Amino acid sequence: MATTTTAAATSSFLGTRLPEVHSSSGRVQARFGFGPKKAPKKIAKRTSDRPLWYPGAIAPDYLDGSLVGDYGFDPFGLGKPAEYLQFELDSLDQNLAKNVAGDIIGTRTEVADVKSTPFQPYNEVFGLQRFRECELIHGRWAMLATLGALAVEWLTGVTWQDAGKVELVEGSSYLGQPLPFSMSTLIWIEVLLIGYIEFQRNAELDPEKRLYPGGSFFDPLGLAADPEKKATLQLAEIKHARLAMVAALGFAVQAAATGKGPLNNWATHLSDPLHTTIFDTFGLFS
């Protein structure tokens, strides 16, 4: 009998036909992936040579430490591989006016996370490998943004949330120097440049090179030439990236709550550390 496949948690609406399934008995209602994923199956991985996000934590089986900076933290199971169901088509008998539901043939978990398609390089929109790429890219932007916010406020006294307003007071300018472009022209330049960069990035199908392109342009000093040093730098980068993302979120919350920049808020806190805290700002104990 003809078979078809759908995913219990997948981004594809029609599902994917998958061979080599494991047999299963009983009749199960198939889900098309619009609900939450199943809770991740966890196994103990208390090894002395692998640090976890807290002492004695139990890492999910899919977080095996192979990714740089993997500390077994995924309480909501967002990185759990999608589980696919394969089942028979419903059997329609028009003479008897019956539509018998197809039986479940088996289940399968797709192991490969990357496929060679430039416009859709990952099998799953919410796959673990794509999460890592998004985490690293957002972390790099956050490191630049955090440094930029602190530097601008320290050098000019202008907070990061007001920097754009200052640059546009008398037309477009940069570092106090006028630019020969209108705002609409600058937007088009940004769209074209970033669009070209994104197309070039998606043209790379090697997962390692997508994250760490290296070469004379991205590693001119050859810091990652030694494999051991490269692993150390990758771990340091992901740690700093995570810290920077938390800092950038803190800057945004501070700006919304106080209207001040991070350095101004820090100075205010140091002037009266017992009465100028996050609890006083939000009136939690007032």
Here the CATH number for the domain that contains residue 169 is 1.10.3460.10
**Residue 123 forms part of a structural domain:** no
pLDDT at site 138: 97
C-alpha span between 202 and 196 (Å, rounded): 10
- For 74, list phi and psi in degrees, rounded to 5: -160, 70
Q: Give the separation between CA 69 and CA 51, rounded to whole angstroms.
A: 9
Residue 7 pLDDT more than 60? no
Q: What is the mean pLDDT of residues 223-239?
A: 93
For 113-148, what is each residue's pLDDT tens digit? 666 676 677 777 778 888 999 999 999 999 999 999
The whole-chain average pLDDT of the chain stands at: 79
- % of the chain beyond a pLDDT of 90: 33
Contact 91, 4 (CB under 8 A): no
In this predicted structure, the answer to whether residue 150 has a pLDDT above a threshold of 90 is yes
Sequence-distant (6+) residues with CB within 8 A of 15 are 4, 5, 6, 7, 32, 84
For residue 49, name the pLDDT band (cuts at 50, 70, 90).
Answer: confident
pLDDT of residue 179 exceeding 50, the answer is yes
Higher pLDDT, 129 or 174: 129
**Sequence-separated (6 or more) residues with CB below 8 Å from residue 125:** 11
Per-residue pLDDT, 121: 74
Of 148, 139, 130, 146, nearest to 201 by C-alpha is 130
Confidence of residue 169 (pLDDT cuts 50, 70, 90): confident
Is 49 within a domain?
Answer: no
Listed range (35-49, 71-85, 225-239) with the worst mean pLDDT: 35-49
Long-range contacts of 274-280 (CB under 8 A, 24+ apart): none
Whether residue 44 lies inside any domain: the answer is: no
What does the block give as tokens for 171? 């037309």
Evaluate whether residue 46 is within a structural domain. Answer: no
Label residue 50 by pLDDT band (50, 70, 90): confident
Q: What is the pLDDT of residues 245-283, one digit of tens each?
A: 999 999 999 999 999 999 999 999 999 888 888 888 877
Q: Does some domain include residue 197?
A: yes
Selection from 260, 247, 257, 245 nearest residue 283 by Cα: 257
**Mean pLDDT lowest among 8-22, 57-71, 217-231:** 8-22
141 CB contacts (<8 Å, ≥6 apart)? none
Residue that is written with structure tokens 């938390």 in the block: 246
pLDDT bucket at 112, cuts 50 / 70 / 90 = low
Residue 132 CB coordination number (10 Å): 20
Domain that holds residue 148: 128-282
Instruction: Return the closest-CA partner of residue 261 out of 162, 172, 164.
Output: 162
Please give the tally of structural domains in the chain. 1
Residue 45 lies in a domain: no
Give SS3 for 15.
Answer: coil
Residue 186 in any domain: the answer is yes
Model confidence, pTM: 0.72
Please state the residue numbers annotated as binding site: 135, 138, 140, 237, 242, 254, 269
Which residues sit opposite 22 in a β-bridge? 107
- Residue list, annotated binding site for chlorophyll a: 135, 138, 140, 237, 242, 254, 269
Residue 13 has pLDDT above 70, yes or no: no
pLDDT by residue (tens digit) across 56-92? 888 998 898 889 999 999 989 888 887 777 777 767 6
Is residue 160 domain-resident? yes
Q: What is the length of the chain?
A: 286
